[in-house]
Every structure is written in C-alpha cells, then in structure tokens.
Amino acid sequence: MKVSVNTAVFLADIKNGRSQADCVASLSNKPIENVEVRGELFDPATEQEALTAIRKTCDDQQFGLYYSIPEELLIDGQLNPALEHYIQLGNQFSMNGLKISLGKADRISKETLRDLAQLASTSSALITVENQPNENAELPAFADQLNEILTAVSALGYTFDSGNWYWIDTAPEKAFDLLQTEIDVFHLKDIANRETVMLGDGQTDWQSMLRALNEDVPVFLEYAIEADRLDQQIQLVNTVLASR
C-alpha cells in the first residue's frame, strides 16, 4: 500500500485558477495509490467534463478515485436528500469511495437508518462518514453513534480525519485507539496550534497510528503542500507504510 493524495494538497494552485483535473494529471507517475477530489472545488458547470478527464488519468495511471462530498449526511437526524445525486455521480465515474461528514446523528430514527441502508446499497463506491471538527464528533457520543449507524448500514464505512480532533480539544491518538477497528479510510494531516503544518512539524504521533492501522486502509494526504515539498511528503509516508 502506497500513500494516496487528496486535491487539498493543491489548494493554493486551485484558488489561483488551476483545475482539479490538471492537478490530478500532475500526479502521473508518482508513487501513490489513489486520488481524492473535492466537490466544493469544482465549478458545477464543468464538473462532468473535469471528472471525465480525471477518470481517464486514473485509468491511465491505475489510481483509485475517491470523492469528498462537501455536505453532511444527516441534517437534524434526517437523511440529506443530496446523497442520491452523489451516489449517481460515483456510479457514473466508477469511483472507489464517497466521503461525507456525518452531521448531527443523536436523533436518527430506525426508519432513517433503513432508508440510508437502502440508498447506500445502490452505490458502487464505498460511502464513508467522517468525524467533523465540531461538536458532532465529540467523544464518546460520536463513537456510540458511529457504531449504531455502521451496525445498521453494513454498506457504510468510516473515514478517520486525524486533524479534525484538535478543533474539539481531543487528541487524535486517543480517538484512534477508540475508533481504530471502524476505520476504512484515513485522512492524514499534522497540526500545531490549530494550524495545519507539514508532517513532523506538529503535535500528531501520526507514524504510530499508521503503523497500527489495518494495512488495507488507504491513507490520504489532505492538507495544502507547496509544490516543491510534495514529493518529500509522499516519500515520508510511503517509508512508514512500507515498514509495517
């Protein structure tokens, strides 16, 4: 297993007008496993065209394709109706994964869980919910809610975001120990004083978490990286993954 890349690494370039399709193309021949694009960084008018180009690059490079949905799965305990659109998008472009923030899950009903299970079963991509940097992810309630949802919806998975825990004053290592067996995708970043920094410059014991992680779980770099440091950050993670 090699490291994977979320297009957040190109955030500065994208803000300056570079397309995600061009960013993904620039990853050609790099030692990575998958790419994850971000829904909020597409222009809706050209998203289909961009995803067609991205799909081609992934096919040519044998990259898996993941998509980060810029919405919450649950809104006041109710299923977000937009999920159906994203499932169709994932099916259309043969995506491996769709990631969505969990949202407020403390009042989810059995009926909503049944609806979610039925909808998730129509997705060819693994749909994963992610811990947010807000009260929706506070432990231990989040762990209980996640367990309830994953038990009821077997087609659903979990994306562990190692950085988001800092915004609710929770050590990611503590959260990892509690949630490790549920993790299907790992979003990696290092944090210092609630600022994202390069790996090794922050407070996160990320190497220990990666060594304990199931070897089949994809690990995505998900933070802005200057172009001249990207290869170094990729190699840093690949070295740890190869040592497991």
CB environment 103-124: b (16+ within 10 A), e (fewer) = bbbeebeeebbeebeebbeebe
The number of angstroms, rounded, from the C-alpha of 94 to the middle of its chain's C-alpha atoms is 17
User: 213, 193, 214, 215: which is closest to 204 by C-alpha?
Assistant: 193
pLDDT at site 77: 84
Pairing outcome for strands 156-161 and 126-130: parallel
Question: What residue ranges of the chain have pLDDT lower than 70?
Answer: none
Q: Model's pTM, two decimal places?
A: 0.96
Enter the CATH code of domain 4-242.
3.20.20.150
pLDDT at site 3: 99
Alpha-helical (H) ranges within 46-193 are: 47-61, 83-92, 110-120, 141-152, 172-179
* Domain residue ranges in the chain: 4-242
65-83 pLDDT, tens digit per residue, is 999 999 999 998 899 999 9
